[in-house]
């Protein structure tokens, strides 16, 4: 299992950062390798990614969502991963976005990349692109609903 942790400060209010992150179908604008995200309902997403020439499709479920605080997810098929993104108010005009997830590299290329920190570098780059996107566009929408965390032992971060 590989663990990725990255954080970035953005010059927007926490609600703006959170609202933009809930627009999952906009992820290809700032996430490298993400070809598309289709939101099937409030908690289910279908992803298509292309990394190192390899296309993958998989599904995730949002396991917890609290407005302006956190969004947690886990895979339901495909690559095994689970994670959380948290949002922290720094002041009225700035916030901190932190991403942490665990994933199971499958191919030899993924295992080598993870060993050399390519996954952390990609997330760091993606967060920089998110910063640029949200600071220049504001939020392009937002979902303010909540998803309750599973009972203890639910297996998410």
In this prediction, residue 152 has a pLDDT band, given cuts at 50, 70 and 90, of low
**Mean pLDDT estimate for the chain:** 89
Residue 72's φ and ψ, nearest 5 degrees, are -115, 150
Average pLDDT score over residue span 12-31? 95
54-95 pLDDT, tens per residue?
Answer: 888 999 999 999 999 999 999 999 778 899 999 999 999 999
In this prediction, residue 120 has a pLDDT band, given cuts at 50, 70 and 90, of confident
Q: What is the pLDDT of residue 104?
A: 80
Distance of alpha carbon 57 from alpha carbon 12, whole angstroms: 32
Tokens at residue 125, please?
Answer: 């780059």
Q: Is 127 left (phi over 0), alpha (psi -120 to 50) or beta?
A: alpha
154 pLDDT higher than 60? no
Residue ranges of domains in the chain: 2-31+63-137
148 pLDDT higher than 90? no
Distance of alpha carbon 23 from alpha carbon 7, whole angstroms: 19
Is domain 2-31+63-137 classified as CATH 3.30.530.20? Answer: yes
Q: What is the pLDDT of residue 153?
A: 58
Q: With pLDDT > 70 as the criterion, what percentage of the chain qualifies?
A: 95
Q: What is the pLDDT of residue 1?
A: 82
Cβ–Cβ under 8 Å, residues 148 and 45 = no
In this prediction, residue 146 has a pLDDT band, given cuts at 50, 70 and 90, of confident
- The pTM (predicted TM-score) of the whole model is 0.87
Question: Which region among 51-60, 91-100, 120-129 has the lowest average model confidence (pLDDT)?
Answer: 51-60
């Amino acid at each position: 299992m590989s663990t990725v942790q990255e954080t970035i400060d953005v010059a927007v209010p926490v609600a703006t950062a959170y609202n933009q992150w809930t627009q999952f179908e906009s992820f290809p604008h700032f996430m490298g390798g993400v070809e598309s995200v289709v939101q099937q309902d409030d908690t289910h997403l279908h992803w298509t990614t292309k990394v190192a020439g390899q296309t993958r499709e998989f599904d995730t479920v949002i396991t917890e969502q609290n407005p302006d605080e956190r969004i947690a997810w886990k895979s339901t098929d495909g690559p095994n991963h689970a994670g959380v993104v948290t949002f922290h108010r720094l002041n009225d005009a700035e916030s901190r976005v932190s991403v942490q997830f665990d994933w199971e590299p499958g191919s030899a290329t993924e295992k080598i990349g993870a060993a050399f920190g390519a996954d952390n570098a990609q997330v760091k780059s993606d967060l920089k692109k998110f910063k640029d996107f949200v600071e220049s566009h504001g939020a392009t929408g937002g979902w303010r609903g909540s998803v309750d965390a599973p009972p203890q032992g639910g297996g998410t971060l």
